[in-house]
Chains A and B, each alone.
Chain A
Amino acid sequence: MTEFQTEKRIPIIKMRDYLIVSIQVDMHDRLALELQAQILEEISKTGAKGVLIDISVLEMVDSFIGRMLSGMASMAAIMDAAVVIVGMQPAVAITLVELGLEMPGVETALSMEKGIEMLEMRVAGNRIEPLKRKPQGW
């Protein structure tokens, strides 16, 4: 038995319409895939409109984790939820670009606050607002 077998899952917190995930550990590949599945299940269960993933303590994002994040963004989009990655360290951003990894569909924000703003704008944009006043000529 290795010490890793007793590891805990990464917690997913629901706040209003959003799920908040803070990755605090160096994930091995299977843990990353489990997290992906867990978040999608949680979207389906709660009807969340957005997912904020805080990676501010991640010291490295390699192609596997990058692919996991962009894969999750596409899957979440099909389930009508947006994914915003928050707090990427500058050294991680530099390395990702040099590595040549593209993460299509992944939106990023510098802070949790900005990330929530982005999701709120998206949710507001999707709602059909009643007209506040009738257009001219009515």
Chain B
Amino acid sequence: MGEWSHKDDRKGLESYPVNSEYDIVRARQTARELSKQFGMGIVDQTRLTTAVSELCRNMYEFAGGGEIIFETGDLDGREALMVSFVDEGPGISDLQLVMQDGYTSGKGMGFGLPGAKRLVDDFLLESEPGKGTIVQIAKWV
């Protein structure tokens, strides 16, 4: 796990609630635009956009929605785009289990967390059962 700049040292870019499938489309469009704007190559743009799409859908499917926050900050001293997914859903009781490849929630859909993690440079997962979940991803620009 890398060294992330403190929340106060990050610059907010965009944030909005994710409450519908259209918001998932909007979130990946924002991810694409920002990663392009910050000079990422086409493959990294696609990686970040896909990770955002996966994590947004997770939040929508399992927590009924939440908020997405796009920021820029430092990861190990290098500028990175950071995206946070904050929900007040049921939370995750076994964090290790959901990070296993091939784990599914029983709806026949994978949580997609390990897949999304592979697409970015750093990944933080915090959750409290009954309170909610925060997933943060960062990708160097």
Contacts and interface: CB of A to CB of B under 8 A. Distances in A.
A62 B25 contact: no
B43 interface: yes
A99 B118 contact: yes
Classify the secondary structure of B's interface with A. Answer: helix
Interface string A3-16: 01000000000000
Contacts of B24: 28-29
A24 B114 CA distance: 29
A46 to B, nearest CB: 29
A4 B26 CA distance: 12
Given A100-B101, A100-B114, A95 B21 contact: no
B22 A99 contact: no
Interface string B1-44: 00000000000000000000110110011001000000000110
| Size class of the contact patch on chain B | 20 to 34
A94 B46 contact: yes
A2 B22 contact: yes
B28 A60 contact: yes
A26 B32 CA distance: 12
A99 B119 contact: yes
A76 B62 CA distance: 30
